[in-house]
Structure 1
């Protein structure tokens, strides 16, 4: 999920069918995890991780669960600003920020293309639009040319998720 920064305000647009939307509607908060792990990015997009993957904490009035393997995260109060039949538009207000000093991560075409393919895949699973399938393949080809081993593993995992959600679709 991408967080949007516009006019000094944070927000996000979430599909109503997602667990993220269910959690926001039920709890009124979200934890934004900051990761450079492409496999984790794909996994958390398409599957529910085991309870062992999370740490439970109390931050002020919030009882949260956050990913154990991610050191950088932001707890945000989430307010639904608008709803459509497919999406919710959510305003975010940071409540707690947990950042560790890390060396900067350079821009990496392989990782960026995993992100783009993942975004297209979430929409492809919903709509089965052939243009989205072409974009997934395009980004996948770039990952296989420009990515490291973890980006290639993430892309193969993404193909597995798309194929399992849409039988007859063939990504490899």
Structure 2
């Protein structure tokens, strides 16, 4: 456990911070957008049954939360497997920590006090290793946030088929078109193609 770690320095604030969580089991890395939940100075992750990340956390009891501003990575990791070349591996305490090469920074967490329900798991996160690659100062962009929200609604649409999620995706797509840059607009095109 890392003592005196200031989570704010890594962009993990009170509430839910959107990250790309990377895990692995054996030789296969996995990436998926996940919200890290911070309440006071406790961190949690909620995973729904059936996902690769869920299975990997049950098996390995470890995740890496990658901080990135790349909207295309958010979309691709929502709908498909990233290329092996998108990952890098570091050996730490007998485990393989898999992170995204293009992440601005990452925090590796041990998953403890895991509680299982019929639909999901909630696990407490204990930071064990950190890495800062590049410091990018960037003002919040509604386009990126629109892409992230659209990804969330797209996964719900795929699960339920309910039209309300298509309407929400379209509304966020309109925000991306108005406020986003080229990368955010390209990410929305990819998202629509996955649907």
- Asked if Structure 1 and Structure 2 have the same fold, meaning a TM-score greater than 0.5 normalized by the shorter chain, the answer is yes
Query: For 1:154-165, what aligned pairs fall within 5 Å after superposition?
Result: 154-162=187-195
Q: Which is richer in helix?
A: 1
- Measured in 2, the distance between the counterparts of 1:103 and 1:68 equals 15
Runs of at least 5 residues in structure 2 that lack an aligned partner in the other structure: 1-33
Does residue 36 of structure 1 match 2:73?
no
State the match for 1:23 in structure 2. 56
- Measured in 2, the distance between the counterparts of 1:80 and 1:66 equals 23
| Cα pair 1:110 1:148 within 8 Å, conserved | yes
Which aligned segments of 4 or more residues in structure 1 are displaced greater than 6 angstroms? none
Query: Number of matched residues?
Result: 162
TM-score (norm. length: structure 2): 0.78
- Measured in 2, the distance between the counterparts of 1:121 and 1:40 equals 15
Aligned partner (choices 154, 162, 166) of residue 129 of structure 1: 162
Runs of at least 5 residues in structure 1 that lack an aligned partner in the other structure: 163-172
Aligned-residue Cα RMSD (Å) equals 1.5
TM-score (norm. length: structure 1): 0.88
Q: Which is richer in strand?
A: 2
Query: For 1:15-164, what aligned pairs fall within 5 Å after superposition?
Result: 15-79=48-112, 81-162=114-195
Q: Provide Cα deviations, 1:93-114, integer angstroms capped at 9, x if missing partner.
A: 1111112451421010100111
